[in-house]
Chains A and B, each alone.
Chain A
Amino acid sequence: MSRVDAVGLAYQATFGTEETTMEYWIPVETADVNENPTDLSIQETIGNRFATALDRGTRFFDVPMAGALRAVSGVRLFSGFICQPVAAGSGPYTHTMDPTVADAAPVFHSAFAVRNDPISVGQDPIVDLFYDMLGNQLDVTINANDYVKFNAAWIALNVDGDQDAPDVTADASPKLKFDEVVVSTSVDDGTSWVALLAAAAGITYQNNLDTDEAVLGSRALYALPYGNADAQVTFTARSDMLTWYRAALAADPTDVSVKMVCTGATPYIFSVLLASVQEITAPAPISGADVLKGIDVTATAHLDSLGAGPNANKFLTAVFTNSTATYPGP
């Protein structure tokens, strides 16, 4: 099924200056925009008991997007959360996003959110152009009999509501699917990998954007600084269940590397590697009604500062392989 609505995304070169021409129109399932206004209210004595009018303070916008990940537009999507990709190769090209590289940081984006449905009933389309936008939390989930899904929670400082509905060139590259995904783990810091029998997997990357940036003289926040980066991985292990269960109960946490590689149709590949994670939970419930087929493992990532292997001093690395040479950026 498809809809006439559209969501566009573009790298924004200058903070405060919106980009009106999109790089990629990303097919999404949903993109619900929320405004976060601050209300000004005061209790005054005015001689009657009726409410007085409200005033508004600062505001910013939550722009969540959820859909199936594609290896072409996915790079543009991830760059708002992790960092500008570094391209390599000569076709196909790899685009690596490693936030531990010097000066690597999420880049500002502009995004169109276009609702074209009203046109069908003789109404104007509803068009928002959000800008000064950074990614706050990115979830990538993989379940059996499903596509590789993303849930991208953006925060935008400004919106332009005066734009016409632009022409859409949608990303029609193949969606990445569950049967193309392999989850692997490494206990020697990425030197060797062992494939894991997993029924589901997911990664959450969080920038902890700070929205407490109000200043006098403006209703817009004056900046959108990113905070500390967190990452978490979850997977349903159907192999080595006892090992995962014991590791979560160990007195001292065990470090392990986890990576997910999705090899789609040539040349599209997507991979995420967490250099070092520590298990926090791996419950093994007893149930009279259910078969214990897998254990849901949850682990948090940390900087691999003590590692001596290929993952040393890494945190999270995302790599896309496609036929696109470069993506505009700083």
Chain B
Amino acid sequence: MSDELQTEEDAPVETGSPAADVVESAAPAAAAKPKAKAPAKRKAPAKPKAPAKGKTSKVKYVGPADQQNATLAQHGYRSVCEPGKVYELPVAVAAKVVKGSRHFEPVKPAK
């Protein structure tokens, strides 16, 4: 049970959200004590690290539908490319993707 709660990364426990209620009802022994705030101290699980700015590059897929890029799949995108969609990838990976296919164009960052 506690494992499930720890995965509720978006639930702000201290605000009395449904998730917090569940915590209290599921642990009656702990609720009787004045230190019921203990769950609030629980740290949210670490979110996936967002790529640092300046270290990513955007590429736009301008090819036809039904084309499958294995590299995109490895970086969390659907493996079938969506025409017109912009993908944000590590710089080296973006360069590799652009080099491998004419259907990817580098997207210049807006100034």
Interface flag for B101 (CB, 8 Å): yes
Q: For the side of the interface on A, what is the size category?
A: 20 to 34
Residues of A within 8 A of B64 (CB): 72, 173, 322-324
Residues of B within 8 A of A66 (CB): none
Interface flag for A255 (CB, 8 Å): no
B97 touches A173 (CB 8 A): no
Residues of A within 8 A of B6 (CB): none
9-residue interface stretch from B14-22, B37-45, B66-74: B66-74
- Give CA–CA (A224, B104) in the complex, Å: 31
Pairs across A and B, CB under 8 Å, 28 listed: A8-B100, A10-B102, A21-B101, A21-B102, A22-B102, A23-B101, A23-B102, A167-B70, A167-B71, A167-B96, A167-B97, A167-B99, A167-B100, A168-B69, A168-B70, A169-B68, A169-B97, A169-B101, A169-B103, A169-B104, A170-B68, A170-B69, A170-B70, A172-B67, A173-B65, A173-B67, A323-B64, A323-B65
A173 touches B69 (CB 8 A): no
Which of B66, B70, B81, B99 touches A21 (beta carbons < 8 Å)? B99
Chain B binding surface SS class: mixed
Residues of A within 8 A of B36 (CB): none
Chain A binding surface SS class: loop
Interface flag for A166 (CB, 8 Å): yes
A160 CB to closest chain B CB (Å) equals 14
Residue numbers of A with Cβ under 8 A of B are 8, 10, 20-25, 72, 166-174, 322-324, 328
Closest chain B residue to A10 by CB distance?
B102
Which of B66, B98, B101, B104 touches A172 (beta carbons < 8 Å)? B66
B96 touches A171 (CB 8 A): no
- Give CA–CA (A174, B104) in the complex, Å: 21
A23-B102, A24-B67 given; name 10 further pairs at CB < 8 Å.
A21-B99, A21-B100, A22-B100, A23-B103, A72-B64, A167-B101, A168-B100, A170-B67, A170-B70, A172-B67
Closest chain A residue to B95 by CB distance?
A167
- Give CA–CA (A164, B69) in the complex, Å: 17
Residues of B within 8 A of A324 (CB): 64
Closest chain B residue to A163 by CB distance?
B99
Residues of A within 8 A of B70 (CB): 167-168, 170
